[in-house]
């Protein structure tokens, strides 16, 4: 467990712990949702090593370590029980938190997630990993290509596309190599049947990086999980924030959430 994660706590009410994606961060992945969620919940967000203000790790990351550290950050913030909202890699972190800390986790919201890599995703992750050793603009071009809804991508002007690539290149966190290495190792399939808390899975149907089929497989592996599909690419926070917020808040209003 790493105990020096940079953590922010906003709002009041039942606990909601955020678990961000690889090469991202709390603000990068959840900014469109946080203010609204903090109106009704205590929202705790911790950046993984090498993202935000959290120092980069000198050793490989693990799902156990990230899950334990995020849970510990919530407990230190005075929030002993919480729903976990995970995005991308954060969905695997959320699953691991639920199976390692069942006394803490009261629900799961898993967005653009996966329990394993398929061949398409494995190839994408390998390209991502290799490009981290080279020019950041080239990496940003690949990530823009892979993470953007093809329909949205086609609508961008050349100028807007160039700005998007430049903005992404300037914000790639230094801990990305460790994040991507961890993604490549994810396989939580054996844990899914052990999850007993209410679970919402949000699949992104035009996702070119993490296919909607992987999201559907994730939902089917968790007893009683509800599956919602949103027509967007992997970057759901940029492409469909209102739709994402609605399904998240609808789930958080369930009667069981009041007991969290």
CA quadruple 180, 219, 72, 236: dihedral sign: positive
The pLDDT value given to residue 109 = 98
Using the predicted structure, report yes or no on whether residue 1 has a pLDDT greater than 80. no
The pLDDT value given to residue 4 = 81
**Structure pTM?**
0.95
In a domain, 183, yes or no: yes
The pLDDT value given to residue 73 = 97
CATH code, domain carrying 77: 3.40.50.1820
The pLDDT value given to residue 254 = 79
Tokens 């939580």 locate to 188
Which whole number is the average pLDDT over 14-28? 97
* Number of domains forming the structure of the chain: 1
Residues contacting residue 41 through CB under 8 Å, at least 6 positions apart: 11, 12, 13, 14, 15, 16, 252
Residue 215 corresponds to which tokens in the numbers above? 């999201």
In a domain, 151, yes or no: no
Using the predicted structure, report yes or no on whether residue 39 has a pLDDT greater than 60. yes
Which whole number is the average pLDDT over 92-101? 98
Number of other CB atoms surrounding residue 203 within 10 Å: 23
Using the predicted structure, report yes or no on whether residue 153 has a pLDDT greater than 80. yes
Pairing mode, strands 42-46 and 7-10 = antiparallel
In a domain, 215, yes or no: yes
The pLDDT value given to residue 107 = 98
In a domain, 156, yes or no: no
Confidence at 258, pLDDT banded by 50, 70, 90: very low
In a domain, 164, yes or no: no
Residue 16 belongs to domain spanning:
7-119+173-259
Distance CA 161, CA 115 (A): 31
DSSP 3-state assignment of 102? coil
Mean pLDDT (the chain) is 96
In a domain, 106, yes or no: yes
The pLDDT value given to residue 255 = 66
Name the least confident of 142-146, 166-170, 235-239, 251-255: 251-255
Question: What percent of the chain clears pLDDT 70, i.e. is strictly above it?
Answer: 97
Tens of pLDDT along 120-137? Answer: 999 999 999 999 999 999
Helical (H) or strand (E) element with 35? helix 26-37
Evaluate whether 194 touches 99 at the Cβ level (below 8 Å): yes
The pLDDT value given to residue 162 = 97
In a domain, 155, yes or no: no
In a domain, 205, yes or no: yes
């Amino acid at each position: 467990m790493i105990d020096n994660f940079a953590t922010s706590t906003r709002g009041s009410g039942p606990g909601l712990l955020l678990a961000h994606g690889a090469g991202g961060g709390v603000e990068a992945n959840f900014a469109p949702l946080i203010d609204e969620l903090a109106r009704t919940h205590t929202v705790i967000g911790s950046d993984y090593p090498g993202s935000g203000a959290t120092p980069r790790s000198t050793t490989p990351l693990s799902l156990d370590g990230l899950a334990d550290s995020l849970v510990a950050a919530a407990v230190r913030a005075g929030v002993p029980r919480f729903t976990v909202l995970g995005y991308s890699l954060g969905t695997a972190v959320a699953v691991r938190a639920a199976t390692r800390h069942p006394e803490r986790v009261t629900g799961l919201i898993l967005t653009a997630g996966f329990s394993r890599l398929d061949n398409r995703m494995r190839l994408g992750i390998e390209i991502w990993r290799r490009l981290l050793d080279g020019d950041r603009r080239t990496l940003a071009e690949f990530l823009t290509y892979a993470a953007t809804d093809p329909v949205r991508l086609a609508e961008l002007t050349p100028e807007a596309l160039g700005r998007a690539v430049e903005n992404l290149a300037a914000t790639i966190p230094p801990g990305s190599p460790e994040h991507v290495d961890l993604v490549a190792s994810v396989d939580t399939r054996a844990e899914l049947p052990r999850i007993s808390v209410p679970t919402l899975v949000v699949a992104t149907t035009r996702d070119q990086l993490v296919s909607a089929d992987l999201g559907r497989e994730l939902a089917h592996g968790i007893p009683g999980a509800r599956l919602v599909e949103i027509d967007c690419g992997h970057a759901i926070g940029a492409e469909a924030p209102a739709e994402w917020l609605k399904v998240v808040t609808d789930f958080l209003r369930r009667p069981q959430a009041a007991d969290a």
